[in-house]
A and B are shown apart, each in its own frame.
Chain A
Amino acid sequence: QLQLQESGPGLVKPSETLSLTCTVSGGSITSSRHYWGWIRQPPGKGLEWIGSMYYSGSTYYNSSLRGRVTLSVDTSKNQFSLKVSSVIAADTAVYYCVRHPYNDEVPYYFDYWGQGTLATVSS
């Protein structure tokens, strides 16, 4: 059974960089036909897709985060990571790592989700 688990500091200071890692177990991150991504949910609010990438490097980002996001993959550890720079209070959210299948170069719906980790931006 595929499992995704987020990890990272729960508290980040304003203007600093939020860094999260997702560890994949029960399957390989180099699996063909799957992208790996991040979605966030501010407390009590809805869902926002952040970005997704294929293990070989193809990446899609949500332009709403204005270039503050970087995704990366470590295939040796079966992990992928998210960095959000210059964070502000509005970046406070539960961050979920997700998997989605793809075909014809287009990623689809999100079929596996991690449990989520709360990242709070505060001084």
Chain B
Amino acid sequence: DIVMTQSPDSLAVSLGERATINCESSQSLLYSSNNKNYLAWYQQKPRQPPKLLIYWASTRESGAPDRFSGSGSGTDFTLTISSLQAEDVAVYYCQQYYNIPYTFGQGTKLEIK
């Protein structure tokens, strides 16, 4: 199975500041035939299901605010929130869909400093 490791486990950022969450996979998620990275990011607010934010490592889902961006390739990926808003308090998960079983990172809890 592909192991997904996020860092940090928790993060406190001031309102309006940048937040960065990292995700590392145990093998490359880049599929050579189409040059796509099979990596998604989700946001889970308390008592809600996860919500898709980013797929193909950097494509923003319709409706996701443009302060959210994804980057990276191969085994190292980053989710960036350019200017933290109060409603961004949540747990964030990365997920690979390169191989079955689909696997998730352990989650990063984002709070306001």
Contacts and interface: CB of A to CB of B under 8 A. Distances in A.
Contacts of A48: 104
Interface of A: 46-49, 60, 62-64, 96, 100, 106-111, 113-116
Contacts of A96: 49-50
B47 to A, nearest CB: 9
Contacts of A115: 48-49
Nearest to B104: A47
A109 B97 contact: yes
B55 interface: yes
A44 to B, nearest CB: 10
B97 A113 contact: no
Contact of A113 (B50, B95, B100, B102): B50
Nearest to B61: A111
Contacts of A110: 40, 42, 50, 52, 95
Given A108-B38, A109-B40, A111-B52, A49 B106 contact: no
Given A46-B106, A115-B49, A60 B61 contact: no
Q: Top 4 closest A-B pairs, CB basis?
A: A109-B40, A113-B49, A62-B101, A49-B102
Name B's interface SS. Answer: loop
Interface of B: 38, 40, 42, 48-52, 55, 61, 93, 95, 97, 100-107
Q: Which of A46, A47, A108, A110 has the most CB of B within 10 A?
A: A47
Contact of B100 (A60, A111, A116): A60
Contacts of B105: 46
A113 B93 CA distance: 14
B95 A109 contact: yes
Given A113-B49, A115-B49, A116-B49, 10 more contacts: A46-B93, A49-B101, A62-B101, A107-B97, A109-B55, A109-B97, A110-B40, A110-B95, A113-B50, A113-B51
B93 A47 contact: yes
29 contacts: A46-B104, A47-B104, A47-B107, A49-B101, A49-B103, A49-B104, A60-B100, A62-B102, A63-B101, A96-B49, A100-B97, A106-B97, A107-B97, A108-B38, A108-B55, A108-B97, A109-B55, A109-B95, A109-B97, A110-B50, A110-B95, A111-B52, A111-B55, A113-B49, A113-B50, A114-B49, A115-B48, A115-B49, A116-B49
